[in-house]
Copies of this chain bind each other. A is one copy, B any other.
Amino acid sequence: MDSYEVAVIPGDGIGVEVVDAGLSVVERAAADAGFEVETTRFDWGTEHYLDRGEMMPDDGLDRLRGFDNIFLGAVGHPEVPDHVTLHGLLLPIRKGFDQYVCKRPNVLFEGIDSPLRGYGPGDIDFVVYRENTEGEYASVGGREHRGFDHETAVQSALFTRRGTERIVRAAFRAAAEREGHLTSITKSNAQAHSMVFWDDIVAEVSTEFPSVDVERLLVDAAAMDLIRRPHEFDVVVASNLFGDILTDIGAQITGSMGLAPSGNVHPGDANPSMFEPVHGSAPDIVGDGVANPLATVLSWSMLLDDLGETAAGDALWSAVVDQLAEESAPRTPDIGGTAGTEDVVADLRSRL
């Protein structure tokens, strides 16, 4: 029997709740498909930080390196600034394992209301390929003359040819396999150094994919167009920051952050990829037992696909789709129900 080793980092807040809940569903799907997922749990996160002054141990990356993939719950804690927690755990893994493709599907499922008038099931279905290792998230910059009138902070976005080409190429490849339509997001009218460079790379790489038609859209216009005409998007490629903003809009217009999965993918076998629900630690509902586990299950579906276990990945995805489509099925409060996390996963298991 095939067996995969997956590192599981529940992290903070509802991350722990959805990860625990999700595991029982994943194990069932794996058993059904005839393979095993062996998970090793790492209790890293902000509790660990408050205890020991570090979000993960110094050799954290080394300890994760041998795994086939990583599953992360959420990072973030009301008592510790985000730039400490995120720079201590989430971002170092994305960068340290060169997970340069952040893949985020946005689908309006049957049974879910979009906040946008006139949009129903099936009307929204696009995927964002977000650059995940550099750009506006580079740790480049500084702050000088603290407290003086001439105090100045600089935050530098860094775009390399290698870093840009590979995410753009990954997005083109995805577009060629989907509807053949790629939207590249920039802000070239105001950021003439980085974004004109991005545009140039998109133009270069486009010659390799004659079947894909490319639309260039400024990030402000894109934010508008995701509200005005989301049905026209297929694959979107964007920098780290722009991808971050647009995928949150994508989650919102498809009904809930509680449904948005993501993969931080390092294509190839050199490093593990990491999958995580997009929603974050949601301190306001911790302990209430109502965290929505669906983004977690969908993220596991992406993880299994990535391992080549597409039948099991599909089974998880379909279980979620079926559950949402059935009016009487349990759902959590964020998507209009009254059920708890456990009810939802129990129902999912019964659908496998």
Contacts and interface: CB of A to CB of B under 8 A. Distances in A.
A137 to B, nearest CB: 5
Interface residues of A, number: 69
A157 B154 contact: yes
Count identical subunits in the complex.
2
A268 to B, nearest CB: 18
Interface in A219-255: 219-221, 223-224, 227-228, 240-241, 244-249, 251-253
A193 interface: yes
A188 interface: yes
B219 A245 contact: yes
B87 A143 contact: no
A190 B245 contact: no
A52 interface: no
29 contacts: A82-B188, A83-B190, A86-B190, A91-B190, A115-B116, A115-B118, A137-B190, A137-B191, A142-B193, A148-B161, A149-B161, A149-B162, A151-B160, A151-B197, A153-B159, A153-B160, A153-B198, A154-B158, A154-B159, A155-B193, A155-B194, A190-B240, A220-B244, A220-B247, A220-B248, A221-B248, A223-B245, A223-B252, A224-B249
Given A83-B190, A117-B117, A227-B252, 6 more contacts: A116-B116, A140-B154, A152-B158, A153-B197, A219-B245, A220-B245
